[in-house]
Amino acid sequence: MLFDTHAHLDDPKYGEDQQAVIGRAREAGVGLIVNAAENVSTSRATLELTRKYDFLYGAVGMHPHNAHELNEQGLTALRRMAQEPRIVAIGEIGLDYYYDFSPRETQQQVFREMIRLAKEVRLPIIIHDRDAHEDTWRIVREEKATEVGGVFHCYSGSWPWAQEIIKQGFYIALGGTVTFQNAKKTVEVAQKIPPEYLLLETDCPYLAPVPYRGKRNEPAFVAAVAKHIADIRGMSVEELAAVTTANGRRLFAI
């Protein structure tokens, strides 16, 4: 069984065929999915999906792109949704200095608030870190996020940085980018990471793996990610699926 630990099935790109997409995931051997929210409205949509499909779980939170949207009313709503039984994480949250859609100071403050919420409700965090490694890790340390743990999703950093992350007990999730031709750093991480810290994801509808690159991504394509990583590591897909699914269950207490 495969576990797509990071999807966005509430995205408008699935507006016409969401049910068919989820059906194809099941046919491809995907037994569990975590849908990650990006703001208050997508957190609500994620919660609805968890009520509709018994193999789908959710994360609620405020993406750094949307950090400027957060207010007290939104924080209250997120806190309430985070206590729903099928919400298993706070995410995705973090910093994005590549696009800077929200001011960096705002991103940092909201990231801190989301970590504090995670500690309050005792849920792990799903971290988005793009071109912001030092500030992301500084805030994680200062806010003592290791108390709840979590995952660095769609990891794109170096192996030395990954080693620091797993030393603190955080997981690393790899997706379609590991199949890209220029993904030398990601391939090195896939080769060297201890299997007990590895998760699989799609980040769909974004970052479809080879041979689907350029198309809309979907959870079924996590099978291609698993095959590629299994080949890199010299193990069977079945072995990789078993260990990464067990990791995901452990992290999200499923």
Domain harbouring 135, CATH code? 3.20.20.140
pTM given for the model: 0.97
CA distances from 85 to 32, 50, 130, 185 (A): 16, 10, 30, 37
Q: What is the pLDDT of residue 253?
A: 98
Q: What is the pLDDT of residue 162?
A: 96
- Angle among Cα 149, 154, 160 to the nearest 5 degrees reads 70
Q: Which two tokens stand for residue 66?
A: 């949307």
Beta carbons of 197 and 172 less than 8 angstroms apart: yes
Q: Which two tokens stand for residue 237?
A: 């897909």
Q: Any idea what DSSP says for residue 225?
A: H
Domain that holds residue 214: 2-252
State how many domains the chain has: 1
Q: What is the pLDDT of residue 169?
A: 96
CA distance 124 to 149: 5
State pLDDT tens for residues 134-174: 999 999 999 999 999 999 999 999 999 999 999 999 999 99
Q: What is the pLDDT of residue 177?
A: 97
Q: What is the pLDDT of residue 131?
A: 95
State pLDDT tens for residues 99-130: 999 999 999 999 999 999 999 999 999 999 99
Query: How much of the chain exceeds pLDDT 70, in percent?
Result: 100
Q: What is the pLDDT of residue 196?
A: 97
Per-residue pLDDT band at 40 (split at 50, 70, 90): very high
Q: Which element (helix H / strand E) includes 52?
A: helix 40-52
* In the block, residue with structure tokens 């200095």: 97
Q: What is the pLDDT of residue 35?
A: 98
Q: What is the pLDDT of residue 166?
A: 96
CA distance 83 to 166: 27
Query: How much of the chain exceeds pLDDT 90, in percent?
Result: 100
Q: In the predicted model, what is the mean pLDDT of residues 218-229?
A: 98
Q: What is the pLDDT of residue 148?
A: 98
* In the block, residue with structure tokens 């975590």: 34
Q: What is the pLDDT of residue 24?
A: 98
Per-residue pLDDT band at 38 (split at 50, 70, 90): very high
State pLDDT tens for residues 52-78: 999 999 999 999 999 999 999 999 999
Per DSSP, what are the bridge partners of residue 41?
none
Mean pLDDT for the chain overall: 97
Q: Give the number of other Cβ atoms within 10 Å of residue 78's Cβ.
A: 24
CA distances from 13 to 10, 52, 53 (A): 8, 19, 19
Q: Which two tokens stand for residue 193?
A: 């990471």
CB within 8 A of 220, min separation 6: which ones?
Answer: 21, 24, 25, 27, 28, 30
CA distance 172 to 160: 13
Q: Give me the sign of the Cα torsion angle 155, 217, 21, 37.
A: positive
Closest CA to 222 of 194, 197, 248: 248
Q: How many distinct helices (H) and strands (E) make up the chain?
A: 9, 8
CA distances from 242 to 28, 54, 149 (A): 15, 20, 21
Q: What is the pLDDT of residue 218?
A: 98
State pLDDT tens for residues 195-216: 999 999 999 999 999 999 999 9
Q: What is the pLDDT of residue 174?
A: 98
Q: In the predicted model, what is the mean pLDDT of residues 11-26?
A: 97
Per-residue pLDDT band at 235 (split at 50, 70, 90): very high
Burial class (CB in 10 A: 0-12, 13-18, 19+), 109: middle
